[in-house]
Structure 1
Amino acid sequence: MLTQNITDELTTILSSLAQEGKEPTVALVKARLSTSVPIPALITAIKSWKASNRVPKVEVAKATVTDQDKLTQLEQQVSMLLKRVEVLEDKLNEKS
Structure 2
Amino acid sequence: MLTKDVSDELKAIFASLDAQGKEPSVALVKHRLSTSVPMPALINAIRSWKSQAKVPKVEVAQPEPEIQSSEQRIAALETQVAELINRLEALETQLAGKAQ
TM-score (norm. length: structure 2): 0.66
Q: Secondary structure at the match of 2:31?
A: helix
Provide the rounded CA distance (Å) in 2 between the counterparts of 1:64 and 1:33: 20
Cα distance in structure 1, aligned partners of 2:12 and 2:64? 25
- Once the two structures are superposed, the pairs formed by residues 36-47 of structure 1 within 5 Å of their partners are 36-47=36-47
Secondary structure (helix, strand or coil) at the match of 1:35 reads coil
The unaligned stretches of length 5 or more in structure 1 are: 80-96
Identity level (%): 60
Aligned to 1:13: 13
Q: How does 1:16-27 map to 2 (within 5 A)?
A: 16-27=16-27
Pick one of 52, 72, 79 that aligns with 1:76: 72
2: CA distance, partners of 1:38 / 1:27: 13
Who is 2:55 aligned against?
55
- CA RMSD for the aligned pairs? 1.9
Runs of 5+ unmatched residues, structure 2: 76-100
The TM-score normalised by the length of structure 1 is 0.69
2:34 is matched by which residue type in structure 1? S
Kindly tell me the number of residue pairs found equivalent between the two proteins. Answer: 73
